[in-house]
Amino acid sequence: MTAIAFIGTGVMGKSIVLHLLKANHDVTIYTRTKEKAQSLIEAGATWAASPKEAALGKEIIFSMVGYPQDVEEVLLGEQGALQSAKAGTVIIDMTTSEPTLAKKIYQQALAQGVHALDAPVSGGDIGAQNGTLSIMVGGDEAVFHQVQRLLEVFGENIVYQGEAGAGQHTKMCNQIVIASGMIGVSEAMAYGLAAGLSMDHVLQSITTGAAGSWGLSNLAPRMIEGDYAPGFYIKHIVKDMGIALRESAQMGITLPGLTLANDMYEKLVAEGYGEEGTQALVRYYK
Instruction: Give the tens place of pLDDT for each residue, 168-186.
Output: 999 999 999 999 999 999 9
Set out the domains of the chain in order of their start, with CATH numbers: 3-163 (3.40.50.720), 169-285 (1.10.1040.10)
Q: What is residue 37's DSSP assignment?
A: G
Residues of the chain with pLDDT > 70, as a percent, come to 100
Q: What is residue 162's DSSP assignment?
A: E
Instruction: Give the tens place of pLDDT for each residue, 125-150.
Output: 888 999 999 999 999 999 999 999 99
Task: Please list the helix, strand and coil fractions of the chain in percent, rounded to the nearest 5, in that order.
Answer: 55, 15, 30
Catalytic residue among 171, 235, 267, 286: 171
Q: Is the pLDDT of residue 191 over 90?
A: yes
Residue 208's CB: how many other CB atoms inside 10 A?
11
Residue 111's CB: how many other CB atoms inside 10 A?
9
**171 tagged catalytic:** yes
Instruction: Give the tens place of pLDDT for each residue, 21-77.
Output: 999 999 999 998 888 888 999 999 999 999 999 999 999 999 999 899 999 999 999
What is the C-alpha to C-alpha distance for residues 169 and 159, in angstroms, rounded to an integer?
Answer: 13
CB 51 within 8 A of CB 81: yes
* Kind and range of the H or E run holding 12: helix 11-22
Q: Is the pLDDT of residue 231 over 90?
A: no
pLDDT at position 125 is 81
Q: Output phi, psi for 165, to 5 deg.
A: 100, -20
Q: Output phi, psi for 65, to 5 deg.
A: -120, -170
pTM of structure: 0.89
Average pLDDT, the chain: 94
Q: Output phi, psi for 32, to 5 deg.
A: -60, -35
Among 78, 102, 122, 95, which Cα is nearest to 214's?
Answer: 122
Q: Is the pLDDT of residue 16 over 90?
A: yes
